[in-house]
């Protein structure tokens, strides 16, 4: 499946403008998605927001955002007010300076993106890539994306240009605040440590050589449970506005109901309903004995059912 760009931009510096497309460079595969279930009946739980003041469930349409400036004191913002505070949309990545590639501490590096040339941008794109690679430099630029202004690094990779958002200074904690103890190192100790490092040294990092072992153990256990038919089928949940009738239970209730004097035909109907209940129960048992689904389908369903994360606002106190 071909990659799809998330935006079309212009990479500019001085009088040079390079039309580019932006692509996401990474995707999260760090964990296996699980849903919260009710232990007693096996039904998936639904997340709701409840007001502790009146105990009522609050719908999203009735929610606003508030900033707590003092304990239990808030200033309220409507959605339109927050949108007005967001950075204005821009289709330009403005380069403000060039610097050595290793000038930016990796601790400030955040999310990476790929840049590819857009229409009529092939030659200036390659020219900028080769110029930065030969000079050992990267670019520092402004980029506004989804209402937030980012400082970004643009550097030359082996196959093209890479844009990486940078954390601001107030988003990175100072390691000096940890209070690491100062100790005296002997020259012989230092020499032994350097020899040990040399024994384990490699020339490059091969990401494909390492796997998430915890994730593989979890997936293996999921396969074991599916193979052992240890599957919990979630019961049907009544939806608002719909009437759900359990036919088998209705028939059983009919059998338990005593006939009245005004209804002499009830015993005959009950006997007929009793004969009808048996094949219905047999059909339910057959459905429960169906072959276990493959893990791929289970994992896809778990991923698709995850609730969308709440959008974070870029406004801070």
251 pLDDT more than 90: no
CA distance 169 to 173: 8
| 152 plus 272 within the same structural domain | no
| 147 plus 270 within the same structural domain | no
Kindly state the tokens that stand for 279. 């094949």
Could you tell me if residue 183 is inside a domain?
no
Shortest CA distance to 18 belongs to which of 113, 127, 140, 114? 127
| 20 plus 128 within the same structural domain | yes
CA distances from 168 to 142, 159, 200, 248, 279 (A): 12, 28, 34, 63, 68
Give the bridge partners for 108, in sequence order: none
Mean of all residue pLDDT scores within the chain: 78
Q: Which of 126-135, 219-228, 300-309 has the lowest mean pLDDT?
A: 300-309
pLDDT tens-place string over residues 266-288: 445 444 454 544 444 444 444 44
- Most confident range (mean pLDDT) of 32-36, 231-235, 277-281 is 32-36
Could you tell me if residue 160 is inside a domain?
yes
Residue the block writes with tokens 């760090």: 30
Half-sphere exposure of 48 (CA within 13 A, CB side): 11
Split at pLDDT 50, 70, 90, the class of 39 is: confident
- Average confidence (pLDDT) over 182-210: 89
Total structural domains within the chain: 2
CA distance 85 to 103: 32
Q: Which residue segment(s) compose the domain that 285 sits in?
A: 248-254+265-302
- Average confidence (pLDDT) over 204-215: 84
| 157 plus 275 within the same structural domain | no
Among 154, 171, 188, the domain-final residue is 171
CA distances from 256 to 171, 218, 249, 251, 271 (A): 68, 48, 11, 9, 11
| 16 plus 154 within the same structural domain | yes
How do strand 7-13 and strand 92-100 relate by DSSP bridges?
Answer: parallel
Residue the block writes with tokens 């930065």: 132
Sign of the alpha-carbon torsion through 209, 25, 151, 65: negative
- Average confidence (pLDDT) over 20-42: 85
Q: What is the C-alpha radius of gyration for the chain, rounded to an integer number of angstroms?
A: 31
Could you tell me if residue 51 is inside a domain?
no
CA distance 209 to 29: 16
| 274 plus 140 within the same structural domain | no
Could you tell me if residue 207 is inside a domain?
no
- Average confidence (pLDDT) over 83-110: 87
Could you tell me if residue 110 is inside a domain?
yes
| 21 plus 158 within the same structural domain | yes
Could you tell me if residue 229 is inside a domain?
no
Could you tell me if residue 37 is inside a domain?
no
CA distances from 108 to 129, 171, 174, 257, 291 (A): 22, 9, 12, 73, 50
Could you tell me if residue 142 is inside a domain?
yes
Among 114, 141, 171, the domain-final residue is 171
Among 114, 147, 171, the domain-final residue is 171
99 pLDDT more than 90: yes
pLDDT tens-place string over residues 111-153: 999 999 998 889 899 999 999 999 999 999 999 888 788 999 9
| 152 plus 21 within the same structural domain | yes
| 114 plus 12 within the same structural domain | yes
CATH classification of the domain holding 103: 2.40.290.10
20 pLDDT more than 90: yes
SS3 label, residue 55? coil
242 pLDDT more than 50: no
CA distance 152 to 166: 5
211 pLDDT more than 90: no
């Amino acid at each position: 499946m071909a990659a799809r760009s998330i935006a079309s931009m212009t990479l500019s510096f001085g009088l040079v403008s390079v039309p580019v497309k932006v692509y996401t460079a990474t995707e999260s595969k760090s964990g296996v998605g699980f849903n919260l279930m009710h232990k007693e009946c096996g039904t998936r739980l639904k997340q709701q927001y409840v007001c502790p003041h009146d105990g009522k469930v609050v719908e999203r349409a009735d929610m606003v955002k508030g900033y707590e400036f003092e304990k239990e004191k808030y200033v309220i913002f409507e959605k339109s007010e927050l949108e007005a505070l967001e950075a204005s949309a821009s289709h330009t990545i403005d380069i403000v300076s060039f610097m050595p590639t290793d000038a930016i501490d990796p601790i400030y590096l955040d999310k990476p993106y790929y840049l590819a040339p857009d229409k009529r941008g092939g030659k200036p794109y390659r020219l900028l890539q080769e110029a930065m690679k030969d000079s050992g430099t990267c670019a520092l630029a402004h980029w506004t994306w989804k209402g937030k202004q980012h400082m970004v690094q643009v550097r030359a990779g082996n196959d093209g240009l890479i844009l990486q958002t940078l954390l601001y200074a107030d988003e990175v904690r100072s390691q000096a605040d940890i209070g690491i103890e100062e100790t005296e190192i002997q020259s012989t100790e230092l020499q032994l440590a350097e020899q040990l490092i040399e024994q384990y040294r490699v020339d490059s990092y091969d990401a494909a050589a390492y796997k998430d072992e915890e994730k593989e153990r979890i997936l293996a256990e999921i396969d074991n449970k599916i193979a052992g038919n240890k599957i919990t089928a979630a019961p049907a949940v009544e939806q608002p506005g719909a009437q759900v009738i359990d036919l088998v239970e209705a028939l059983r209730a009919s059998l338990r109901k005593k006939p009245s004097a005004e209804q002499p035909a009830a015993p005959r109907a009950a006997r007929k309903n009793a004969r009808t209940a048996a094949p219905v129960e047999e059909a339910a048992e057959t459905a429960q004995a169906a072959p276990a689904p493959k893990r791929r389908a289970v994992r896809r369903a778990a991923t698709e059912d995850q609730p969308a994360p709440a959008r974070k606002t870029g406004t801070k106190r």
